[in-house]
Amino acid sequence: RIAAELRLALAEKTLPGLRVLITAGPTWEALDPARGISNRASGKQGFAIAQVLAEAGALVTLVAGPSHEATPPGVTRRDVVSAEEMQAVCLEVLEGSVDVLIANAAVADHRPAQRSPQKMDKGRLPNPLPLTENPDIVAAMARHPRRPRWVIAFAAQTHDHLEQAAAKARAKGVDMIIANDIGDGRMGMGATANHLHMLFGGQITDLGSGDKLTLARRLVRTLAPLLQHSPPSSSETSESP
């Protein structure tokens, strides 16, 4: 903790005053007060990026789904549970003006169609379980009148689906995709190590593998010169609003 505070004070300020909104962690979609749908994201990668951005002098708001990670020093944290709550808080933060959105959270695509305020008896659980699609937070932010200058989304892929991730990015109007490899059980979601690829301007850059803080430093070092400017409007993965 003291080491983290010192790093925050002493690190080179490559992104002074840049207003960054970063989402991290899973979302929890309750079926009743006990049960729910979720995913195995720990929030580690997003929290590490928030930490490194704050060290670089950025003004970081971290909107976090349920996570056991400690809030990095200098970061403003807003805790949420569901995708709908995450979207509401992100839109609220957007009202205060955001330069860069980094959508790292593993937002559940669906939630149970019905939610019971009391724990359901096992025998009363609907089976099959009807689901409702959750809002697409990144797409909503990318199309917002107050759209951040940069919209960067994470994509979790179990295997070589980078092309698919790029297509998804174009459809959503995001400027850059960071692809998480979750094919290897020791990597990505819920794990300490990770492997990242950056998809930007029609190019794929391998950011390599390593622990999530090391990768966060590598990512922010790569991003810093880009984030000073607007994304090139000709960027292959971008759709101007």
Q: In the complex, which residues of this chain contact its own copies (CB under 8 A)?
A: 28, 32-41, 68, 106, 108-110, 117-119, 121-122, 125-131, 156-159, 164, 182-183, 185, 189
Q: In angstroms, rounded to a whole number, what is the distance separating the alpha carbons of residues 30 and 118?
A: 11
CB 134 within 8 A of CB 52: no
Q: In angstroms, rounded to a whole number, what is the distance separating the alpha carbons of residues 173 and 171?
A: 6
List all residues 6 or more positions away from 15 whose beta carbon is below 8 Å from its beta carbon. 53, 56, 57, 58, 220, 224, 227, 228
Task: Please state whether the peptide bond connecting residue 128 to the residue before it is cis, i.e. omega within 30 degrees of 0.
Answer: yes
| Distance in Å, CB of 122 to its own copies, minimum | 4
Report the residue number, 112 or 173, with the smaller CB distance to its own copies.
112
| Distance in Å, CB of 130 to its own copies, minimum | 4
Angle at 74 between CA 188 and CA 108, to 5 degrees: 35
Catalytic residue among 39, 104, 134, 194: 39
| Distance in Å, CB of 35 to its own copies, minimum | 5
Report the residue number, 18 or 83, with the smaller CB distance to its own copies.
83
39 counts as catalytic: yes
Give backbone dihedrals phi and psi of 33, rounded to 5 degrees, phi first. -65, -20
Report the residue number, 96 or 126, with the smaller CB distance to its own copies.
126
| Distance in Å, CB of 73 to its own copies, minimum | 21
Report the residue number, 26 or 231, with the smaller CB distance to its own copies.
26
- Active-site residues, by number, are 39
